Amino acid sequence: MARRYPLDMDTYRAPVRDARFVLEHITPLSALTALDAFAHAEPELVDGLLEEAGRFASEAIAPTNRDGDAEGAKVVDGGVVTPDSFKQAYDGYVQAGWGAVQHPAEFGGGAFPLTVANVVKEFITSANMAFSLGPLLTTGAVYLMQHHCSDEQLQTYVPKLVSGEWAGTMNLTEPQAGSDVGAVTTRAVPADDGTYRITGQKIYITYGDHDLTDNIIHLVLARLPDAPPGTKGISLFIVPKFLVNDDGSLGARNDVEVVSLEHKLGIHASPTAVMAYGESGEGATGYLVGEPNQGMRQMFTMMNDARLGVGLQGVAIAERAYQQALHYAQDRRQGRGPASEPGEQAAIIDHADVRRMLLTQKASIEAARALCYANAHALDLGHHADDPVVREQQTKLADLLTPLSKAWATDLGVELTSLAVQVHGGMGYVEETGVAQHYRDARIAPIYEGTNGIQALDLVGRKLPYDGGAFVKGYLGDLRSEATALTDDLAAIREPLLAAIDELGTVTTWIFEHREQPNDVFAGATPYLRCFATVVGAGLLARGAAAAQQRLDDGDTAPYGADFLAAKVTLARFFATQLLPSVHGLTGAITAGADDLYAVAPGALAP
Residues noted as catalytic: 449
State the CB neighbour count (10 A cutoff) for residue 265.
12
Q: Please check whether residue 547 is in contact with residue 25, taking contact to mean a CB–CB distance below 8 angstroms.
A: yes
Max CA distance (Å), the chain: 87
Q: Output Rg (C-alpha) for the chain, integer angstroms.
A: 25
Q: Please check whether residue 394 is in contact with residue 378, taking contact to mean a CB–CB distance below 8 angstroms.
A: yes
Q: Please check whether residue 354 is in contact with residue 327, taking contact to mean a CB–CB distance below 8 angstroms.
A: no
Q: Please check whether residue 54 is in contact with residue 14, taking contact to mean a CB–CB distance below 8 angstroms.
A: yes
- Under DSSP, the state recorded for 178 is S
Contacts 24+ apart (CB under 8 A), 248-257: 248/156, 250/214, 250/215, 254/284, 254/285, 255/279, 255/280, 255/281, 255/283, 255/284, 255/285, 256/218, 256/284, 257/78
The residues pairing with 277 across neighbouring beta strands, listed in sequence order, are 200, 256
State the CB neighbour count (10 A cutoff) for residue 61.
26
Q: Phi and psi at residue 153, in whole multiples of 5°? A: -65, -40
Q: Please check whether residue 220 is in contact with residue 202, taking contact to mean a CB–CB distance below 8 angstroms.
A: yes
| H or E element at residue 177 | none
SS3 state at 340: coil
Of 465, 485, 500, 512, nearest to 579 by C-alpha is: 500
Q: Phi and psi at residue 456, in whole multiples of 5°? A: -65, -40
Of 192, 239, 198, nearest to 222 by C-alpha is: 198
Residue 605 buriedness (CB in 10 A; 0-12 / 13-18 / 19+): exposed
Q: Please check whether residue 116 is in contact with residue 101, taking contact to mean a CB–CB distance below 8 angstroms.
A: yes
Print the SS3 string covering 101-168: CCCCHHHCCCCCCHHHHHHHHHHHHHHCHHHHHHHHHHHHHHHHHHHHCCHHHHHHHHHHHHHCCEEE
User: Per 3-state DSSP, what percentage of the chain is helix, strand, and coil (rounded to 5)?
Assistant: 60, 10, 25
Of 417, 219, 415, nearest to 301 by C-alpha is: 219
Say if strands 187-190 and 215-222 run parallel, antiparallel, or are unpaired.
unpaired
Half-sphere exposure at residue 70, Cβ-oriented, CA atoms within 13 angstroms: 11
The residues pairing with 257 across neighbouring beta strands, listed in sequence order, are 276
Of 434, 566, 538, nearest to 62 by C-alpha is: 434
Distance CA(476)–CA(502), nearest Å, equals 9
The residues pairing with 258 across neighbouring beta strands, listed in sequence order, are 275
Q: Please check whether residue 167 is in contact with residue 137, taking contact to mean a CB–CB distance below 8 angstroms.
A: yes
User: What are the CA-CA distances from residue 515 to residues 464, 525, 597 (Å)?
Assistant: 11, 12, 18
SS3 state at 32: helix
